[in-house]
Amino acid sequence: MVLLGVLVTTTGSGHGCGNTWPFCHGEIIPGVITIAGVIEYSHRVMSGLDGFLVLILAVWTWLLYRKDFQAKLFAFLSLLFVVLQGVLGALTVIYEGTWALTWLLSIHFGLALIAFASVILLTVRLFQSGKEPEETRAPAAGRGLQGLAWGLAVYTYIVVYTGALVEHSGAVAACGPQFPACSPTYVPGLTSLAGIQLLHRYFAGLLWLLVLALLVVATRRYRERHDIVRASRWAFALITLQAISGMFNVWTEGQLLAALVHTTLIAGFFSVLCLLCAQVGWPWKRTKPVTGGESGESKRLELKTVP
């Protein structure tokens, strides 16, 4: 669904079905339809099917896992943000061709990532149901790692909006194929398309450095938490590939394949960060010491990592 949305935007097919919603030109099966209409209507049909499947999954989860708070939470978030996606989809059709469209499309993409990550987290939770969580056999995450993981998730969401603004404002090719500079300057006016492009690059560069710091902290201080180390490695690998795909997106000036790869990678990266947040726990709750069956080394690590 995320890829179909990017396909609609990149090909300029958002107005392929006119200003009518949810059908195409007011008809369930339009008599005459263009390629843009096919792309746009395919996105709408698949969105409806996706929403129906998420509804079934959410209700089924609430019925079978009534005592599992996390499973019910992820199911609720999945359904909530899919519904919000539908509402915003209708608004983007109504405001097609107006200044407000750029901001609506950016929010639309941001909510799509939350919906995608919620379904991924729910899936992981259901597959792990009945198994002993790894965090009960190894040191709990400290406040520092919790704050870093959750802060990264929030900051990534902000960076995603700057990227969506680049895409929907037409700033992808604002600097031409030049990277990392933009024409002869590194600091253009932020109200220009070139400024929007560079703002996203700087935000994304800082994000890469922060994920590198996360990887260093996880591998040095939480070696026994294999789930955290694996998630950190996946996060760093995906953000590195994301940076490379971003360069290709600039060099190709926003060609379709580069845009689709760029979107796929950021969706996977954001989902991994959300999974990491679930693994380290809520930052405002005190972590409990590890008890029962733990080695002296594990207990010593626990005392070091928990403030």
For the segment 59-114, what is each residue's pLDDT rounded down to a tens digit? 999 999 998 998 999 999 999 999 998 888 777 777 665 555 667 777 888 888 89
How far is it, in rounded angstroms, from Cα 118 to Cα 77? 6
Q: Which two tokens stand for residue 277?
A: 């947040």
Q: What residues contact residue 257 under an 8 Å CB cut-off, 6+ apart?
A: none
Q: Is 40 a catalytic residue?
A: yes
DSSP classification of residue 183: T
Domain ranges of the chain: 1-131, 135-307
The count of other CB atoms within 10 Å of the CB of residue 215 is 19
pLDDT in tens, 113-164: 899 999 999 999 998 876 655 554 566 788 888 999 999 999 999 999 888 8
* Per-residue pLDDT tens over the stretch 264-304: 999 999 999 999 998 888 777 655 544 433 333 333 223 23
For 174, phi and psi rounded to 5 degrees?
Answer: -65, -30
State CA 51 to chain mean position distance.
18
pTM for the model stands at 0.80
Q: Which one-letter DSSP state was computed for residue 141?
A: P
DSSP code string of 96-131: TTSTHHHHHHHHHHHHHHHHHHHHHHHHHHHHTTTS
Q: pLDDT higher for 187 or 249? A: 249
Out of 40, 167, 224, 302, the active site residue is 40
CA 116 to chain centre: 7
What CA–CA distance (Å, rounded) separates 22 from 29?
12
Provide the angle, in degrees to the nearest 10, between the axes of the packed helices 100-127 and 69-94: 160
Tokens for 294? Answer: 């733990």
pLDDT at 3 over 80: yes
Judge contact between 235 and 275, C-beta under 8 A: no
Residues 67, 222: Cα–Cα separation, whole Å: 30
Residue 81 CB coordination number (10 Å): 21
Q: What is the pLDDT of residue 102?
A: 66
Q: Residue 217: left (phi > 0), alpha (psi -120 to 50), or beta?
A: alpha
